[in-house]
Structure 1
C-alpha cells in the first residue's frame, strides 16, 4: 500500500448556508398542525389550573422542587416514586424505536423540539426577509439599509421567541401567574432569570443559527436509528426506477414520442430547495435527511404542473424499490415482529404503571434502626431498641396509630406523644406531609429474646382503617 492511497481532506464539510424555500402541500400542513399543537401546549400549559384542595398548589403541571413533589393534573408523585419516571423513559425509548421501525426518522421530521422551533424561526425569517430568492439576494447586498433593517427585525423576533421559550420553561417550576408578576417587577429569584437567560441563548443559537448543523453533527439519533432500521421501514425515497433518466420537460416529451425511455424527474431542484437541511434526496437516504416530507410536497406540485402522476418522491421501503425493479407490485408490512415487540413493550410498561398508580397507597412508613448503640440494657434486666420512624401522608391531614407486632412483652414509647385513653399511640401528620418521630421499643426481662427477632412496624389510619407497614429487627443484649 502506498502513501497516495490515503486522500487527505477536511473532517467536516465547509458550512454551506441553506435557504429553504416555502412549500405547500399535505406534509407541510401536517407540520404546521404539529407545530401549533406542541408549542401551544408548551407555552400555555403552565397557566392551566387544577384544584387539589386547600394548602395544595393549583397549577395543573408543576415541578415543586422545594417540597419535592411533581404534580400532573390529578397525579401527585413523591421522590420515592421515581420509578414512574423510569417507566416513562422506557415508554419514550420504545415509542422512538417504534416510530423508527414504522417510518424512519418520524420523530426528527415532525416532533423533535429542534425541528419545531427551527420551523418557527424559518417562518419568521420568510415573513420578514422574503422567500428563498429574496433572502439569497439580500445576503449578497448585505450592507444596504433595507436589508440591515430586515435582519435586525428578524433577530429581534427570534430573541423574543427564544426569551418566551426560556420563560415558559421556568413557569413549570413555580406558580406561573405569580412568577410572571415577580419577573415583571424584578422580584423573582436570581435563579429564574439565570435559567431564562441560558434557555433564551440556547434556543436562539440552535434554532436561529445552528439549525441543520444540530441535526447533522450534534444529535446522536441519526446514527443510532441507522442501526435500528430495516428494509421494511418507510423512508422518504426518490423512486429512481420512475425518475431516471432525468431530462427537461420538452426533451422528455420528444423522447417519449420517439419511443425512448424518459424519466419523470425534470431536474428542477425543487426537492433540494425546500429541504431544511439542503439534502438532495435523489442521492438516496442520507444522514442529513430528517424525513420531513417537504420534498414530497415540492415534487408533487411540479408533477401536477407538468401533467405527470404524483409520487415520484414518497414514503417507501427498500423492499419495494427492489420489487419495482423486478416488475412486482409493492407490499407494505407495518405490522411485523419488530413493531409488535415495541408495541408490546409500551403496552406492558404502561399497564404496569397504570396498575401501580391506581392501587398505590396514600400512606407509607419507613424505619431506621438506631446503630449507636444497637440496644440499651435497662436496670431491671429489660432491653430497649430505638428507631427513627418516618410517616408519609399523601392525603389530607390524618391521625395514625402506631404499633409493633411480632415481639411479645413489648411496650413502645414515642418522644413527645402521649398515649390515648385506650393506651394506643397516635401520631398526627399534616396534609401532604411527612413526620419523623423517635420510637423506643422496650421488652420486659421475662420476654427478652435469645436472638435478633424480626418485627413489623405498622401504622393505621384511625379514620379509614387503611394501614401500611415495614419490617425491621429487635436486637437483644447478648448480640
Structure 2
C-alpha cells in the first residue's frame, strides 16, 4: 500500500495540537469601579433568585398568595398581579423575543454586558471564586499551595471550600423548586422529608450542575459550551464598545525604570509596563492586550487592575477601557474620538423592543377574563327531527379567569328562528339560558341549536354564540357554522 508523504515544506509539528489541555486559571482579587458594579449586581441577582419565592401577593380567597408561582397542577403562571393561562402562551413568546432583542441591543451598545455582569454562570462563578479566596487565599497562595505537597491544613481548607460550594449549590437547587409550589410549605415538607420525590430529584440535579459548572468548569462553560460568544461575534459592529487595550497609547511596552531612561532620551515609550496584572485578574485567563478574543467576557476587571497600576506609576488611567478600534485608529491619526451609541442598529433594536412591549402591554390590559370556545359535533354533523326541523349539536367551553363565581347568559345570532337549548342550564328565561361558571376554572356544556326547515336555506350558515356576564356586563363570542343536511 502506498503511503502519502506530506511535502517537505510543511512542518505539522509546528502547528501544534488542535486541542490544548486546560491550564488552570487563578484569578487574583481586584478592587475598583467595575468590581463594585459586579458585587452590587451579584447581590441583587442572588437576592432576587433566593428570596422572590417568599414574597407574598394577595389575590383573594382561595387563590395562591405567592407573588411568583408556576402552578403546574392547576396550569397557571402567577407574576404579582398577572395571571396567565396555558391559552396565553403567546405572552411567553413575546418575553423570549424581548430577551433576544435586549441581548442584541446590549451587544450593539457595550459588547458582552450580559456575559460580564448578569449571566448566571458569571454570577455563581464569581460567588464560588469569593469562597475560594476566603478559604484558600488569593492567587499567589493558591498557586503555591497547588505546587506543594498536600498537608492536613490545606486538606481541611479545601474540604471547607467544597462544603460551602455544595451548600450554595444545594440552596440554588432548592430555591428553584420553590417557584413551582408554595415556598414556606415546600420548605417545611423538604425539611421533614414529606415533599414529593420529584422535588428532591430536581434539587439533586441542580445542585450537581451548579457545583460542577461554577466550581470546576468555570471559564470552560464560556469558551466551549455557551453559544452566545459566537452569536455575539456575528452581531457586533465596528461602533460597539468593548473592553479594549488601547495599544496606541500602551505600545511599546517596557518596565518603569527603562521607560524613564527612554523618555529622557526622547524616545517613544508606551504606558504599559508589562506587569501582567490584567492577565492575573482575568476570570478566563486571557491577555486582553492580544486583542478581541472569544474567551473575553468583558467583565471589566482588567480595567480596574490596570487603573490601579497606572495610578501607582503616575500615568493616566483607562489604558484598558470600553472603546472600539475606530477610535484607536483615530487617535493614531491625531483625530478626535467619536462614539455612536445612537445609530441605525440600536434604533432598530430599541424600536422593535418598544413595539413588542406596547403590543404585549395592550394585549394584557385589554384581554378578556371571560372566554368561549365552540366545538361542532362531527358525527352526526346535523340531525333532521320528526317535524322537519334541523338540529346541530355543539360543545361550548367557558373560561372564567376571575377569582369568583359568576352567572352568564348564552345567546345566538344565526339562522332565522333558531332556538338554543343548553343541557343542564337554567331555562327560566326562554331562549336565553343562564349558566353558573366556577371561579378560575373552565366549564363545558352541551348545546343543541334547532332551526325550522327551510328549503331555500343554505347548506352552511354562520352562527355566533354570545356569552354575557349578567352582573358585570363583560361579554365574549365565538363563531361556528350551522349545517343543513
Same fold, judged at TM 0.5 (above) = yes
Structure 2 match to 1:428: 436
Please state if 1:41 is matched with 2:48. Answer: yes
Shift of 1:55: 1.2
Distance in 1 separating the partners of 2:357 and 2:149? 54
Distance in 2 separating the partners of 1:447 and 1:315? 80
**Bigger mean CA deviation after superposition, 441-450 or 256-265:** 441-450
- Give 5+ residue unaligned stretches, structure 2: 1-5
Q: Is the 8 A contact 2:426 2:435 kept in 1?
A: no
Shift of 1:2: 3.8
Q: Is the 8 A contact 1:235 1:315 kept in 2?
A: yes
Residues 1:448 and 1:206: Cα distance change in structure 2 (over 3 Å)? farther
- The CA deviation string for residues 276-316 of structure 1, in whole angstroms up to 9 with x for no partner, is 00010000010000000000000000001111110111110
TM-score by length of 1: 0.97
Shift of 1:25: 0.1
Match of 1:151 among 147, 155, 158: 158
Distance in 2 separating the partners of 1:185 and 1:262? 68
Distance in 1 separating the partners of 2:77 and 2:18? 45
Distance in 2 separating the partners of 1:103 and 1:153? 38
RMSD (CA atoms): 1.4
Shift of 1:186: 0.7
Distance in 1 separating the partners of 2:8 and 2:100? 45
Q: Is the 8 A contact 2:385 2:391 kept in 1?
A: yes
SS in 2 for 1:445: coil
1:170-185 aligned at under 5 Å gives the runs 170-185=177-192
Structure 2 match to 1:287: 294
Match of 1:194 among 193, 201, 208: 201
Shift of 1:384: 1.0
Residues 1:6 and 1:352: Cα distance change in structure 2 (over 3 Å)? farther
Please state if 1:473 is matched with 2:481. Answer: yes
Residues 1:185 and 1:4: Cα distance change in structure 2 (over 3 Å)? farther
Distance in 2 separating the partners of 1:379 and 1:406? 22
Structure 2 match to 1:410: 418
Structure 2 match to 1:452: 460
Distance in 2 separating the partners of 1:6 and 1:40? 55
Structure 1 match to 2:119: 112
SS in 1 for 2:337: coil
Shift of 1:204: 0.5
Distance in 1 separating the partners of 2:455 and 2:84? 42
Distance in 2 separating the partners of 1:322 and 1:103? 19
Structure 1 match to 2:257: 250
1:226-241 aligned at under 5 Å gives the runs 226-241=233-248
Residues 1:25 and 1:144: Cα distance change in structure 2 (over 3 Å)? same
Please state if 1:298 is matched with 2:305. Answer: yes
Shift of 1:459: 0.5
Q: Is the 8 A contact 1:238 1:282 kept in 2?
A: yes
Q: Is the 8 A contact 1:397 1:430 kept in 2?
A: yes
Q: Is the 8 A contact 1:408 1:447 kept in 2?
A: no
Residues 1:322 and 1:375: Cα distance change in structure 2 (over 3 Å)? same
Q: How many residues align?
A: 477
Distance in 1 separating the partners of 2:148 and 2:124? 28
**Bigger mean CA deviation after superposition, 425-434 or 410-419:** 410-419
Distance in 2 separating the partners of 1:6 and 1:331? 45
Shift of 1:421: 4.2
Q: Is the 8 A contact 1:20 1:278 kept in 2?
A: yes
Distance in 1 separating the partners of 2:441 and 2:270? 72
Residues 1:167 and 1:447: Cα distance change in structure 2 (over 3 Å)? farther
TM-score by length of 2: 0.96
Structure 1 match to 2:226: 219
Q: Is the 8 A contact 2:421 2:431 kept in 1?
A: no
Distance in 2 separating the partners of 1:427 and 1:12? 70
1:243-392 aligned at under 5 Å gives the runs 243-392=250-399
Distance in 2 separating the partners of 1:205 and 1:473? 59
Shift of 1:358: 0.7
SS in 2 for 1:355: helix
Shift of 1:12: 2.3
Distance in 1 separating the partners of 2:214 and 2:8? 43
SS in 2 for 1:321: helix
Shift of 1:383: 1.2
Shift of 1:5: 3.9
Structure 2 match to 1:464: 472
Q: Is the 8 A contact 2:38 2:117 kept in 1?
A: yes
- The CA deviation string for residues 251-283 of structure 1, in whole angstroms up to 9 with x for no partner, is 001111111111111111100000000010000
Shift of 1:227: 0.8
Shift of 1:444: 2.3
Distance in 2 separating the partners of 1:10 and 1:429? 70
Shift of 1:368: 0.7
Please state if 1:209 is matched with 2:216. Answer: yes
Match of 1:19 among 17, 26, 41: 26
Shift of 1:448: 8.1
Q: Is the 8 A contact 2:411 2:431 kept in 1?
A: no
- Give 5+ residue unaligned stretches, structure 1: none
Shift of 1:427: 1.1
1:63-74 aligned at under 5 Å gives the runs 63-74=70-81
Distance in 1 separating the partners of 2:380 and 2:23? 71
Shift of 1:10: 3.0
